[in-house]
């Protein structure tokens, strides 16, 4: 398959390497000059858990430079960057192009629908992780999986097959919106609280009231889910959180929002707690905890920029 990865950052480049290793023709699309230059000259450096590193070569170009057509474009920008990326690569999208979004958060499908027909959209959630240590260098740990579904009701088999040729452990989701909400629920707890409490995931797990804090956020999400017909299983999310908070599982890992704040970048808060709060307001559901968390993260984004 001819595949472009739009957003060749931490996760996009990890996914890209795996697909290229499986024999797919992969091109990365990114706009960070130092990152592109490093990959195109020295290859992408991938460091694993054991500290071993390998370099991988593949073409990475800017949206302006990309040309031709692709069977599949995997969208892996940060959620607030998605609309701009789709605008910038509009010239390579044809009615036959399939677009698979794996970015976190809510609202991605609405954004993509502004650019292409619903029948071209595939959405998924992924448990693969990766972090950018420097331009052209990612650090990867453990394994992951992907669950995806065709949003326009079509068949996702060819995409699932391609992803599994790259050992990405992909499977069909029968209800990807529930999967997306479930993951957004987990992220709506771990991401902002790590920033506001200045804590790694394992450190958050040591807080005596971590369950109360998590339930406060999740019960509001459950209420708004009921209003829009999406079932949010709070107990299931709490069980997953309990697993993730174990020091042997979490290690010294900080969620991506913590890393965004450290890098003075805009966070995905409006597509997590902020999205739920907005939806709550539209349905007259009181969402005080998620609203306050959204405001606090926006304040933090402004403060780190002037520091
Ligand atoms: P990232 O910031 O490392 O990568 C995004 C890349 O997109 C950047 O390199 C940026 O330069 C590029 N980009 C954005 N807009 C662009 C534009 N208009 N033109 C050109 N380049 C553009 O982010 P990430 O950590 O890889 O995360 C991507 C998405 O995947 C996020 O939604 C994140 O929440 C989700 N996710 C990440 C992980 C992880 O471990 N990194 C795990 C699961 C889900």
Each residue's pLDDT tens digit, 127-152: 998 989 999 999 998 889 999 999 99
State in Å: Cα 259 to ligand 1 middle: 12
Report residue 253's pLDDT band, with 50, 70 and 90 as the boundaries.
Answer: confident
Q: Report DSSP state, residue 252.
A: T
Q: pLDDT band for 40, please (50, 70, 90 cuts).
A: very high
Instruction: State whether ipTM is beyond 0.90.
Output: yes
Q: How far is the CA of 132 from the centre of ligand 1 (A)?
A: 10
Q: How far apart are the CA of 46 and the centre of ligand 1, in A?
A: 16
* Cα–Cα separations (whole angstroms), residue 26 to 5, 71, 137: 7, 11, 18
Q: Is the pLDDT of residue 57 over 90?
A: yes
Mean pLDDT of the chain: 96
Span from the CA of 125 to the centroid of ligand 1 (angstroms): 14
How much is the pTM? 0.95
Single out the residue of 150, 169, 168, 36 nearest to residue 101, CA to CA.
150
Burial letters 231-253, b for 16+ CB under 10 A, else e: ebbbeebbeebeebbeeeebeeb
Calculate mean pLDDT across residues 277-298: 98
Give the mutation target among 16, 46, 76 for probing the ligand 1 site: most ligand atoms within 8 A of CB.
76
Catalytic residue among 18, 78, 98, 183: 183
Work out the average pLDDT over 19-41. Answer: 97
Contact 74, 238 (CB under 8 A): no
Tokens coding 119: 């029948």
Our answer to whether residue 45 is catalytic in this structure is no
Residue of 4, 5, 6, 9 to mutate, ligand 1, most atoms within 8 A of C-beta: 9
Closest CA to 44 of 87, 11, 4: 11
- The number of the ligand 1 atom at minimal distance from the alpha carbon of 62 is 20
Residue nearest to atom 20 of ligand 1 (CA): 31
The fraction of the chain above a pLDDT of 90, given in percent, is: 93
């Amino acid at each position: 398959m001819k595949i472009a990865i739009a957003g060749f950052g931490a996760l996009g480049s990890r996914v890209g390497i795996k697909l290229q290793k499986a024999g797919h023709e992969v091109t990365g699309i990114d706009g960070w000059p130092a990152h592109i230059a490093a990959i195109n000259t020295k290859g992408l450096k991938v460091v694993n858990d054991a500290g071993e590193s390998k370099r991988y070569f593949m073409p990475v170009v800017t949206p302006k430079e990309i040309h031709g057509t692709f069977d599949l474009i995997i969208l892996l920008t940060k959620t607030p960057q998605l609309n701009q990326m789709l605008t910038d690569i509009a010239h390579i999208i044809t009615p036959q192009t399939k677009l698979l979004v794996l970015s976190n958060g809510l609202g991605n499908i609405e954004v993509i629908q502004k650019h292409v027909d619903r029948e071209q959209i595939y959405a998924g959630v992924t448990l693969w992780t990766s972090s950018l240590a420097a331009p052209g260098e990612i650090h990867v740990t453990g394994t992951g999986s992907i669950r995806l579904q065709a949003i326009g009701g079509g068949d996702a088999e060819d995409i699932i097959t391609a992803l599994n040729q790259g050992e990405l452990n992909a499977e069909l989701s029968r209800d990807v919106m529930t999967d997306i909400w479930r993951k957004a629920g987990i992220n709506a707890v771990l991401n902002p609280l790590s920033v506001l409490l200045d804590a790694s995931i394992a450190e958050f797990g040591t807080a005596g009231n971590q369950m109360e804090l998590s339930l406060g956020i999740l019960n509001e999400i459950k209420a708004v889910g009921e209003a829009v017909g999406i079932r949010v299983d709070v107990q299931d999310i709490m069980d997953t959180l309990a697993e993730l908070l174990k020091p042997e599982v979490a290690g010294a890992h900080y969620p991506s929002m913590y890393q965004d704040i450290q890098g003075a970048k805009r966070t995905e808060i409006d597509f997590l707690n902020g999205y739920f709060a907005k939806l709550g307001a539209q349905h007259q559901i009181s969402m005080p905890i998620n609203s306050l968390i959204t405001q606090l993260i926006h304040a933090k984004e402004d403060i780190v920029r002037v520091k």
